[in-house]
Chain A
Amino acid sequence: MRGKAAIVGIGETTYYKHGQSPEPEFKLVLDAVQLAAEDAGIDVREIDGFAAYANDRNDPSRLMTAFGSKDMTFNNMVWGGGGGGGSAAVANAVAAVLAGYSKYVVVYRGLAQGQFGRFGQGPQTPIAPGPAAFTAPYGLLSPAQSFAMRIRRFMHEHGAEQSALRAISMATYRHAQSNPRAVMYGRELTEEMYDNSRMIVEPFHLFDCCQENDGAAALIVTTAERARDMKQKPAWVLSAAQGSDYRQAATAHNSPDYATSNFKTLAPRLYAMAGVGPEDVDVLQSYENFTGGVLMSIVEHGFCEPDEVNDFFTLENFSAPDGKLPLNTSGGNLAECYMHGLELVHEAVRQVRGESTCQVPDANVSMVTSGPMVQPVSDLILAADRGVDG
């Protein structure tokens, strides 16, 4: 796969707080796909493949009908996992163009939580069947509550402190202050604000939790042969991987390895495919459902040892342009927009193009991790240099 395909266009709607989109979710998706096509310099009807994730409601058959596209050659959904399918959808798009099924595959996510219900609220059905029966009746209902249990165990095993979580949150908010697209643009976060913010579920403060938003994002993948002559500087896909570790989906919190983001088997595959290591990564976009997931993702991708997080996780290290590991440089799910992590892939593309509002100078290797602590998860390495001959 290395260097054989590229992301050649990105588009996104205005990002709104949940419930504030003036337009329906499907219209947001239509807009985002058209903007991505425009960015790529192609007619939207040239898109013949569709890849999405997280059980996106916006059916590609309806999309291609609305656009009046002549032909659909590929349609694909990553099962389950919420935002864990973000980079996986890009991987599937790459597979489709390399297999010769499709010329241009759009990866998209539309999410109007104000129109269809919010992730952060618990189920309100009278009965919790099956796996939910082992958690919901005990008030273990929301994603924050589910994941706090994992990160608490990690903090216990490795002596990680609250300041490590705070550094992640502060870096995303700092970067959002340079990004006019960010929902939290103009809303700075100080240490005092973080420390004094209300507790959602220990150890998560309010600012450890992602937003809930309305909007849509889309990006376009094509082959290296086509990408070379297109409007934008290609963001070459060095590798993209998806998967899940041993019995990670065991119900009632029974995954044998519990204090994990689920990247332990994936990360080595990602690096091997790309032919790079963590020391080569110039900038990282790491999916924050909750800061604790970023903590474990960064450790499991080899950027620091689990027992070193209190030293490594600092605002300085995570700040663009010259921190050791500039992190979530658009503001990410916490402070730009919770577009289920697809906005993180967009930002990774911008870094490769040199167009970020928190640009890392000469960024070459630009990495994304999608959806920690869920099943499956996925990750992605883009680069400005194709890294292969020809």
Chain B
Amino acid sequence: MSAEARSYLPEGLPRPGPAIDGLGAEFWEAAKRHELVVQQCRACDAFQWGPEWICYQCHSDDLTYTRVSGRGIIYSWERVWHPVHPALQEATPYIVVLVELPDAGNVRMAGNLLGDRTQDVVIGAEVEVVFEDKGEGDEAYTLVQWRVVE
């Protein structure tokens, strides 16, 4: 992994965690292993994201997390200029993309688009996942980031 990927945004932003009731923990554990997973219903095969305790299609509570390819399509994007967190004071502009995953029922994930912060962003462009390891020790975590497929 490149140094650039390790440091797209500075340390100091909130780090990800599961919900208080535990929902979503498997996703962040998988990210640490550099695996991209999406919640999927074992009963009807529907993908759903974000995670929930039951399947929105068939109401089964037999849900799992399925590994997907990590290839996606830019669905929407934004370039942030005004920092709203102290950790971002020197980090603007930065780009956030919303990525659609065709091999997971077109669910979407948000992340940063790595590379030039002033680049033109094209809706429909193909992107691939980049795992960004951050933090240390008990506070280590991995973010799911994206870069354009050349």
Pick the contact of B98: A144, A198, A253 (CB < 8 A): A253
Contacts of A127-156 to chain B: CB distance below 8 A? 127-142, 144-145, 148-150, 152-153, 156
B interface residues, tally (CB under 8 Å): 42
* Residues of the B chain whose Cβ atoms lie less than 8 Å from the Cβ of A141: 13, 84-85
Q: Are B85 and A139 in contact (CB under 8 A)?
A: yes
| Complex CA distance for A102 and B145, rounded to whole angstroms | 54
Report the number of A-B residue pairs with Cβ-Cβ less than 8 Å: 137
Secondary structure of the B contact surface, majority rule = strand
Once A130-B23, A133-B16, A134-B109 are accepted as A-B contacts, the answer to whether A139 and B81 lie under 8 Å apart by CB is no
Inter-subunit contact A198/B82 (CB<8 Å): yes
Contacts of B79 in A (CB 8 A): 199, 201-202
Residues of the A chain whose Cβ atoms lie less than 8 Å from the Cβ of B20: 129-130
B19 is an interface residue with CB less than 8 A from chain A = yes
**List of A residues within 8 angstroms of B13 by Cβ:** 136-137, 139, 141
B75 to chain A, nearest CB (A): 7
A24 contacts B by Cβ under 8 Å: no
A interface footprint on B105-123 (CB within 8 Å = 1, 0 otherwise): 0011111100000000001
Contact status B82-A200, CB under 8 Å = yes
Q: Which of B9, B85, B96 interacts with A149 by CB under 8 Å?
A: B96
* Contact across chains for A198 and B81 when beta carbons are under 8 A apart: yes
Q: Are B16 and A134 in contact (CB under 8 A)?
A: yes
Q: Name which residue of chain A comes closest to B49, CB basis.
A: A254
Cβ of A118 to closest chain B Cβ, rounded Å: 9
Provide the bound-state CA to CA distance between A133 and B141, in Å.
11
Q: Which residues of B contact A247 (CB under 8 A)?
A: 56
Evaluate whether A149 and B77 lie within 8 angstroms (CB atoms) in the complex, with A136-B14, A138-B110, A252-B49 already known.
yes
Which 3 A/B pairs are nearest by Cβ-Cβ distance? A130-B19, A251-B50, A133-B16
Given contacts A137-B13, A139-B85, A153-B75, 9 further A-B contacts (CB under 8 A): A138-B110, A138-B112, A141-B13, A141-B84, A145-B96, A198-B82, A251-B50, A252-B50, A254-B50
Tell me the A residues contacting B by CB distance below 8 Å. 120-142, 144-145, 148-150, 152-153, 156, 198-203, 247, 250-254, 258
